[in-house]
Structure 1
Amino acid sequence: MLTRNENFQPFYLYPVVSMICFIQVFIWFLLQIPHPFFTLLFAFLSGYNAGIQAGEWWRLLTPIFLHTNFSHLFFNTISFILFAPPLERILTSWKFTIVYFVCGIFANIATFVLEPENYVHVGASGAIFGLFGIYVFMALYRKEQMDKRNVQLILTIIAIGIITTLFSSNTNVVAHLSGLLIGFLIAPILIKKKVHFHHYSFYETPQKGLKTIFYRKEFLGFFIVILALIVLLILF
């Protein structure tokens, strides 16, 4: 069935992406247990502005791992799987980890500053939009590192994401837009012009001897395994 060299290799290529996916799926599954303790735990870890005002600073970090329902978890996780692996390869795992959480924490700080005291929020969207911000910078100022089709695809998806953010109810607009902004602003520090990285499209076959993060067979195995994990957690 699945061979290690082709299908499981992405877990080694993208260890931080894999770990974050597993953690947030595990936490969501854990918090579905019908017990008052887990209800209180969710409230204790959520982004509650009044709690942050009272000195509960962990609430600037922990909401990144929480989701309100399965659809919230599903769409955030799929977005993360699609967009995060290339950046982990470009930035290296430790830099990617810092960038991801900096974007998420900055989005939560902006939410704390701009939203009312009784505002409560959860989700990884601020951090994910930070990754989008890096892609926007690359599409505008580092085009040599991406092919034309990927530039068009990414900008279209991000535009749809912004429009959806602005017109959807129960969406933390501040977190989305501030995450996008901080990702765009820190990208020049991270993505230099002389980075030797060829960004293949989903439709290109890499040259012999080269590995690419968007090679279809490799990436498909990674996607299927994580998606299967989510389904199994939901069913069992």
Structure 2
Amino acid sequence: MSQDQQQLWLENSSHKQAPVIRVVRDDLDWSSKLKRDVHLTALNGEKIRRALKKSKLILKNIYISAYPPVDDYEELVSSDYILPQAAKTTVQSAIITIDNVKEDINKVTGLFNEEAHWEIKEEPEEMEVHALKENVLSFDTKKAKEEKSLFTMGKPFFTYVFIALQLAVFFIMEMAGGSQNTENLIRYGAKYNPLILEGEWWRFFTPVVIHIGFLHLLMNTFALYFLGMAVERIFGSARFLFIYIFAGFTGTLASFVFTNSLSAGASGAIFGCFGALLYFGTAYPRIFFRTMGTNILVVIGINLALGFTLPGIDNAGHIGGLAGGALSAAVVHLPRAKRWGIQLGAVILAIAAIPALLWYGYQHGPILFDPSISNAEAQEMLNDGDIEGASAILVDVIEKREADAHSYFLYSIVKIKNEQYNEAETYLNEALVHDRDFSEAHYNLAVLLVERGEEEEARDHAKRAYQLQKDNNQFKELHERLQSKESP
């Protein structure tokens, strides 16, 4: 109802022919006034159509006037008015005049394509009119309070707890060697498939509070602040806690099953918040799309698209978290409302899906050994001067026959540092077998060959290294020095 109590907008989602009805009390002097008002009503109807996410909207527009317009107006009410700009909103109008109520009521009834029975009093008492207005206002106020209460079911508490927890863990990891240090990430509980397979089941949960670098932490903290607050307000703190932990678990589980990369972060749990909001949208679709729905869908779509196109993003974890958030929201449902059928179905699905994914991950998951993780760990040990530690890791990789070119290259560095140059040459050649365009391997091999006096072969490797990386000054210097010694 408008503030002047002269307009009443009604919405009835169960009536497909008349989902929106406008009733207005206004004395229509001229048809031009009626024409302008119909157009403005169509514009407002278009806004409503977009908010309701409808492909088309038919708006019933009923005027109550003391008298009809004095000039020709019949065409304005006898034909539909379709908004020219969009052609998706149609206004169907009718006028009820004081002097011709019964006949005009029949015209209004025709708008709805069904019979209606109206009780018309010639002179309604003022108290009755006042009571009717009060009932309408009371219903409108009650409806608004009910909708508002959906977003105030709980005060954010665990959102702040998880934010504080991930900030604290990040600070501790930075002090202990860095949040981007592979060894540190594994030590503090990042998702690492080999150790999960060895029985460290807690790694399904601990990655949620671990972040790889400040930017990763910053983005996830902001996302958790806004999404976590929304979900905790809608579902309440206890339900939010369950949703967040469950989604974090399912995100890590999906990553374990479908990817072999070392990973960490709250992204899976945050996508679980998206999933919970999508479930809220299934329970209250009109409110969802009127408030946040379109933005939520766009953000989810963009993030998933980036995950499929950019390297280094664990999209399996994102999708697993999204599904887990929706599933856990269905299990607990919304406060003050029960949908036992859906909740029971969600519980059964969770009981069936989680063990199945765990079994598949442990039995038939991705390649169980990823040399890149061990290579990174060995590289960090070499940087720290821990030659023995790096050697132990690389020997393990090579013995498992999972080594790649970088593994052999790093092991050649171990041999060089131990002054075992012949063995270093062997492993450099092995690296080049796996990757002929490994410029650093060509360069190191050229250096070793120069030391042994085999400059002709060294010249070929130095040339190849320079061709692969012409902007590398070391490669350029060695190449030019050996070329200058070449016999004419």
Same fold (TM over 0.5): yes
Q: Could you say which residue in structure 2 is the equivalent of 1:66?
A: 210
1:30-109 equivalent positions in 2, closer than 5 A: 30-33=172-175, 35=177, 40-44=183-187, 45-109=189-253
1:131-142 equivalent positions in 2, closer than 5 A: 131-142=273-284
Contact 1:165/1:173, CA 8 A, preserved across alignment: yes
Q: Report how many aligned residue pairs link the two structures.
A: 183
CA distance in 2, matches of 1:185, 1:34: 37
Q: Could you say which residue in structure 2 is the equivalent of 1:124?
A: 266
Larger helix share, 1 or 2: 1
Q: Could you say which residue in structure 2 is the equivalent of 1:215?
A: none
The residue type paired with residue 71 of structure 1 is L
The residue type paired with residue 166 of structure 1 is F
Alpha-carbon distance, 1:94 to partner: 1.8
Q: Could you say which residue in structure 1 is the equivalent of 2:254?
A: 110
Contact 2:208/2:264, CA 8 A, preserved across alignment: yes
Shift in alpha-carbon separation, 1:69–1:148, aligned structure 2, 3 A: same
Q: Could you say which residue in structure 2 is the equivalent of 1:223?
A: none
Shift in alpha-carbon separation, 1:56–1:163, aligned structure 2, 3 A: same
C-alpha offsets along residues 192-234 of structure 1, whole Å, 9 cap, x if unaligned?
4975xxxxxxxxxxxxxxxxxxxxxxxxxxxxxxxxxxxxxxx
Larger strand share, 1 or 2: 2
Shift in alpha-carbon separation, 1:61–1:125, aligned structure 2, 3 A: same
The residue type paired with residue 170 of structure 2 is W
Q: Confirm or deny that 1:153 pairs with 2:323.
A: no
Shift in alpha-carbon separation, 1:69–1:146, aligned structure 2, 3 A: same
Match of 1:19 among 161, 167, 170: 161
Where relative contact order (Cα < 8 A, 6+ residues apart) is larger, the structure is 1
CA distance in 1, matches of 2:300, 2:202: 29
The residue type paired with residue 277 of structure 2 is Y
CA distance in 1, matches of 2:313, 2:306: 9
CA distance in 1, matches of 2:243, 2:279: 14
CA distance in 2, matches of 1:102, 1:193: 18
CA distance in 1, matches of 2:334, 2:296: 19
CA distance in 1, matches of 2:199, 2:289: 46
Consecutive unaligned residues of structure 1, counting only runs of 5 or more, are 1-11, 196-236
Consecutive unaligned residues of structure 2, counting only runs of 5 or more, are 1-153, 338-488
Contact 2:204/2:249, CA 8 A, preserved across alignment: yes
The residue type paired with residue 62 of structure 1 is T
Alpha-carbon distance, 1:41 to partner: 4.8
C-alpha offsets along residues 120-144 of structure 1, whole Å, 9 cap, x if unaligned?
1110111111111122232344224
SS of the counterpart of 2:227? Answer: helix
- Aligned alpha-carbon RMSD (Å): 2.6
The residue type paired with residue 183 of structure 1 is G
CA distance in 2, matches of 1:97, 1:149: 24
The residue type paired with residue 23 of structure 1 is L
Contact 2:244/2:273, CA 8 A, preserved across alignment: yes
Shift in alpha-carbon separation, 1:138–1:13, aligned structure 2, 3 A: closer
